[in-house]
């Protein structure tokens, strides 16, 4: 009985921590992770934020390669090591580096850049492959 309770608690914790509520999301693929941080030129401008979010969601909804599609904003920093200077983050996973390259070249990605690049002042990308 103790093992069953332990398993249930761990399952619940994993669901809360790693669960994905959006119907479009799929399981995180650890083969290739693409993490992007955006700094908007006018982060307090609601029209710019809405335009950026709309463009980003449209792109992700139409991407043929992106698996996990996480869009975030920085939480209130609770520790000195947390960098909350960005406006938005994007975490996308792929089954391979080749899929990630195809994502870079696909029309929805290029349209997102064309529509949104005027809104940001800085973008930093971190790509990782699983070990």
Tell me how far apart the alpha carbons of residues 101 and 20 are, in angstroms, rounded to a whole number. Answer: 25
- The whole-number pLDDT of residue 120 equals 98
Does residue 64 contact residue 73 with C-beta atoms inside 8 Å?
Answer: no
Q: What is the pLDDT of residues 33-89, one digit of tens each?
A: 999 999 999 999 999 999 999 999 999 999 999 888 899 999 887 788 888 999 999
Does residue 32 contact residue 112 with C-beta atoms inside 8 Å?
Answer: no
- The whole-number pLDDT of residue 109 equals 96
Confidence of residue 26 (pLDDT cuts 50, 70, 90): low
The predicted model gives 13-17 an average pLDDT of 36
The predicted model gives 101-122 an average pLDDT of 96
- The whole-number pLDDT of residue 27 equals 67
* pLDDT higher than threshold 80 for residue 14: no
Higher pLDDT, 108 or 28: 108
The predicted model gives 12-32 an average pLDDT of 51
Q: What domains, with CATH codes, occur in the chain?
A: 22-129 (3.30.70.100)
């Amino acid at each position: 009985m103790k093992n069953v309770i332990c398993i249930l608690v761990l399952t619940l914790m994993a669901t809360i921590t790693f669960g994905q509520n959006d119907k479009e999301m799929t399981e995180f693929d650890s083969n290739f992770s693409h993490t992007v941080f955006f700094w908007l030129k006018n982060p307090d401008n609601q029209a710019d934020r809405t335009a950026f979010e709309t463009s980003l969601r449209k792109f992700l909804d139409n991407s043929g390669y992106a698996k996990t599609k996480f869009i975030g904003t920085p939480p209130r920093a609770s520790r000195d090591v947390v960098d909350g200077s960005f406006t938005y983050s994007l975490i996308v996973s792929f089954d391979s580096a080749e899929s990630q390259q195809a994502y870079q070249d696909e029309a929805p990605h290029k349209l997102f850049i064309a529509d949104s690049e005027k809104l940001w002042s800085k973008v930093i990308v971190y790509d990782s492959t699983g070990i």
